[in-house]
Chain A
Amino acid sequence: MSIIEVNKVTKKYGEFTALDQISFSVQEGEVFGFIGPNGAGKSTTIRILLGMLRRNAGDAKIFGMDVWKDAVEIHKRVAYVPGDVSLWPNLTGGEVIDLFLKMSGKGNKKRRDEFIERFQLDPSKKCRTYSKGNRQKVALVAAFSQDADLYIFDEPTSGLDPLMERTFRQSVQEAKDNGKSVFLSSHILSEVEKLCDKVAIIREGKIIEQGTLDELRHLTRSRVTLQTKEKVTGLSEMKGIHQLEEKDGEYTFQVDSEEMDAVMRHISRSGIVKLECMPPTLEDLFIRYYGKHEKAEAPGGRS
């Protein structure tokens, strides 16, 4: 069952098109990664999903209900953590969490205290004295203490230290294990790589690629390190080989996924001593798409 169903959603601000017919869906129990550079439209998408912004065209549903019209009904089962959490300076973290849980209507005192402990938050301090990371913790604690069916995170770990990032990942994993769905917007690729089942890449208001991580990897190149008994001939002329380098009989190159088979057949004739094949990282993907864009935008390259 689709938890989130977005179909050709467009959002315009006057002449400027913030989102251009984006479509994607998140299935039940899935962790969905939404990645893109700053200003690509990630937060706009989320605010449309939250019923705060009105879309100009297209369809957007959560739990089968319209995100704008049925916002209040949908939010009974949604927990959200913004990227830049700003809180009421004169309330303490504990007060804010209680307030949030009261509003959500599904507060759980035990979980609240458990997550305060896990995220090592001091709930007795006024929000004005909290750092960015601590404000994020307040929102995270409130979100995880809530028994939601869908968690929406907008760059939730941008202020957290590595230990807390791990706590966050564990908490997301637990939610997933309990059959919850997660929508995670991020530009921290390693985080998305570790957590997500499916990924969509957005750039300049358009979704340029989406699918499972495996599917996306097929679209790109693997990095190969190779040592052979004999010299490999004709590698540089082969289709799908990029950035070939040879040093002391060791070859490194990148190979397009669809040419992998032909390349392997070719090199096996030379007697393989060592073969390392690295799957592309999301970062490679990302930079490839971003790089493409830069070339297209500015022929001759930028300084």
Chain B
Amino acid sequence: MMKNVMQGFLPLTKLLFRKDRIKILIWLVCVTGITFASALAYKDVYKTDADIKGFAITMENPAMQAMLGPGYELEEYTSIAQVFGHELLLFTVIAVAVMNILFVSRATRGDEEEGQMELVMALSVGRLSYIMAAVAEAVTVNLLLALGTGFGLYTLGLEGFTLEGSLLYGALLGGSGLFFAGITALFAQLMETARGATGYSFAVLIASYVIRAVGDAEVEMLSLFSPLGWVSRAYVFVDNHWGPVILFAGAAVILILVSFYLNSVRDLFSGFFRPKRGKIHASPYIKNPLGFVLHQQRMNIIAWALGIFFLSAAFGSIMGELESYFSDLELMQMMFQHDQFSFMEQFSALLMGIMALFGVIPGMICVLGLKGEEKKNRTELIFSRPVSRNTVMATYISAAAVITVIMQLMTALGFWFAGSAVMDEAFTAGDIFRSALVYLPAMWSVIALTTFLTGSVPRFSATVWLYFGFCFLVVYFKETLQMPEWLVNLSVFEHIPEYPLEDITVKPVVILILLAAAVSIAGFFGYNRRDLTG
């Protein structure tokens, strides 16, 4: 019987690995690479015991604990290992969870939905073989990750990275990954679409984070109900409790067995919850052109808004300890040359410049979406109706402009929220919002360039990323590489007054807005004249 349901398990597992090998490799290299690189970087950042204790003190407020987990007692921070364990573990676990959700959802419901599973099941293959192969793939990947990270960290030979601690750190990544693989396998049985399976699994991940955040900041009991809360309870590099790993493994086994059972009793293509019936009528919001584009860009907007908020909050939260560890870094001294301003002011000005670059990405994606629509043959559905090319393009640009404003507000909010939590002498909210919003004209210029390329030379619209990359290089390396001034001036971002270091002046702002308008108009002109392919 068992042999029967497992018929073809091994070849299927091989097939899945063959199919996903590049993705697996990229994920493993990225997760372990970032882990090792951070560990090595910490060695330079936290040089003395005072640095480490400084970090520990900044972490002692509820805002930081809500973000990163509870951390340890002050005296337990004896080396960078504890700092590393506290600051990096939770977010790495989240990354590993994301990896598992994507892999398992794809290999189960995704293959089923797209019909590959049907082809395979028509062969002499056991009922459970496909899902078993998917699970086997997840188990192998998590095992590789756990062992690779564990032994790798230990091999780096840094102070405090004991063999047990390192292995536990790896095991926590692998264990939590397997747990979320189990969650996804379960939802892949319950839901009828891969999207549903992925969506609910992500919902569990987000809920775990929120419950843990509230728990770690306010009521500890709550954190015990969250798998992400278990992670911090291992006290890795201090007490090294293996309990959470066992808990993860046990829960994963149960989840996987339940999914096997559900898989065996359901029909192919069916689930236990039908996707909910969608709306029969369009809301006025979708029927409005701008509303429609924003609706289409919803995931783009939400993902980037959250990402930017957290990134900005993360920068804001380290403001308190900035001076202590940036002051002796040579690189940083080169970047911060204004003597009359505090490090905090200089750092926030630099940060705003970088964040503005991030913030323009979803706007560019929005405008490039117009070309995507054309490639997918969806613009013909619009242009065969009494809708002008100007209207469509203007709608996409307006949406992109709205998106950039949202992103800048997110940057300011995150920075202000976290900054005011960790600093006694916080910036005023007005200052922060001003220094973020002043970048809008530069961002709109990049949007305008994207518009021009999409409108006039769609084949080369992706080259806008080259310009974007150039602007990024300029922000980071203009001082260290001593770039010539004309080169630096090619980046629109360099013409924005760096508030609060410089006063906000009208002239560059107006010039950039005019430039953006002129380049956009050229884009409109091209779009009106060119062939639309679909």
Residues of A within 8 A of B (CB): 47, 50-54, 71-73, 75-76, 78, 80, 82, 84-88, 90-92, 94-96, 98-100, 102-105, 123-126, 128-129, 139, 152
B282 at the binding interface (Cβ < 8 Å) = yes
Given known A91-B286, A126-B275, contact A100–B385 (CB-CB < 8 A):
yes
State whether B278 touches A53 (Cβ < 8 A).
no
The 9 lowest CB-CB distance pairs between A and B, nearest first, are: A92-B278, A98-B282, A80-B384, A94-B280, A95-B282, A124-B277, A52-B532, A103-B385, A75-B386
Chain B residues, CB < 8 A from A51: 383
Contacts of A71 in B (CB 8 A): 383, 388
Contact B292 A99 (CB under 8 A): yes
Are B278's CB and A73's CB within 8 A? Answer: no
- Chain A residue numbers with a CB within 8 Å of B383 are 50-52, 71, 75
Q: Which residues of A contact B195 (CB under 8 A)?
A: 128
Complex contacts, A87 vs chain B, CB 8 Å: 378, 381
Residues of B within 8 A of A (CB): 193, 195, 275, 277-283, 286-287, 292, 296, 376-388, 529-532
In the docked arrangement, what's the CA distance between A80 and B279, Å?
24
A90 partner residues in chain B, CB cutoff 8 A = 296
Cβ–Cβ < 8 Å partners of B382 in chain A: 103
In the assembled complex, the CB of B486 is this many whole angstroms from the nearest CB of chain A, namely 38
- Could you tell me the distance between the alpha carbons of A100 and B383 in the complex, rounded to whole angstroms? 11
CB closest residue in chain A, given B284? A102
- CB of A53 within 8 A of CB of B386, answer no
Q: Which of A84, A94, A95, A126 contacts B377 (CB 8 A)?
A: A84
Residues of A within 8 A of B385 (CB): 75, 80, 100, 103-104
Q: Are B381 and A82 in contact, with the CB atoms below 8 A?
A: yes
Contact A52 B193 (CB under 8 A): no
Cross-chain contact A82 with B529 (CB below 8 angstroms): no
Given contacts A52-B380, A53-B531, A100-B385, contact A124 B286 (CB under 8 A): no
Contact, CB under 8 Å: B286 / A95: yes
**Interface pairs (19), CB distance under 8 Å:** A47-B380, A50-B384, A52-B380, A52-B383, A52-B384, A53-B531, A75-B385, A75-B387, A80-B385, A82-B377, A86-B378, A88-B378, A90-B296, A95-B278, A98-B282, A103-B382, A103-B385, A128-B195, A152-B384
Q: Using CB atoms, name the residue of chain B closest to A106.
A: B386
Whole-angstrom CA separation of A73 from B280 in the bound complex:
30
Q: Contact at B386–A104, with CB atoms within 8 Å?
A: yes
Main secondary structure of the interface of B (DSSP, over half): loop
- What CA separation (Å) do A280 and B243 show in the bound complex? 83
CA distance A152 to B385 in the complex (A): 12
User: Considering residues A73, A91, A139, which has the most beta carbons from chain B within 10 angstroms of its beta carbon?
Assistant: A91
In the bound complex, residues from chain B placing their C-beta under 8 Å from that of A100 are: 381, 385
* A139 & B381 in contact (Cβ 8 Å cutoff): yes
A242 to B275, CA, bound (A): 62
Determine which residue in B279, B282, B532 has the highest number of CB atoms from chain A within 10 A of its CB, and name it. Answer: B282
Q: Would A95 and B386 count as touching, CB distance under 8 A?
A: no
> With the chains together, A46 CA to B22 CA distance in Å?
42
- Residues in A neighbouring B278, C-beta threshold 8 A: 91-92, 94-95, 124-126
B380 with A95: CB separation less than 8 A: no
Check if B380 sits within 8 Å of A82, measured CB to CB: yes
Decide yes or no: A129 and B387 within 8 Å by CB, A52-B380, A94-B279 being known contacts: no
A72 touches B532 (CB 8 A): no
Bound CA span A72–B376, Å: 22
Question: Given A53-B532, A94-B282, A99-B286, are A75 and B384 also a contact pair (CB < 8 Å)?
Answer: yes
Residues A102 and B287 in contact, CB atoms below 8 Å apart: yes
Closest chain B CB from A86 CB (angstroms): 5
B384 touching A72, Cβ below 8 Å: no
Q: How far is the CB of B291 from chain A (nearest CB, A)?
A: 10
A185 CB, nearest partner CB in chain B, Å: 14
Q: Which residues of A are found within 8 Å of B287, using beta-carbon distances?
A: 98-99, 102
Whole-angstrom CA separation of A98 from B286 in the bound complex: 9
Residues of chain B lying within 8 A (CB to CB) of residue A92: 278-280
Given A47-B380, A52-B532, A87-B378: A103 and B281 within 8 A (CB)? no
- Are A86 and B377 closer than 8 Å at their CB atoms? yes
CB within 8 Å for A88 and B296 given contacts A50-B380, A95-B282, A103-B385: yes
Shortest C-beta distance, A62 to chain B (Å), equals: 12
CB pair B381 A52 closer than 8 Å: no
The reply to whether B281 and A94 form a contact with Cβ atoms under 8 Å apart is: yes
Bound complex: CA A104 to CA B376 (Å): 21
Q: Knowing that A75-B384, A139-B381 are A-B contacts, what are 10 other residue pairs whose CB atoms are under 8 Å apart, sorted by A's residue number?
A: A50-B384, A52-B379, A52-B383, A52-B531, A53-B531, A72-B387, A75-B383, A92-B279, A95-B279, A96-B282
CB distance from A103 to the nearest CB of B (A): 4
Interface pair A124/B376, CB less than 8 Å apart: no
The CA of A128 and the CA of B114, in the complex, are separated in Å by 11
Name B289's closest neighbour in chain A (CB-CB).
A103
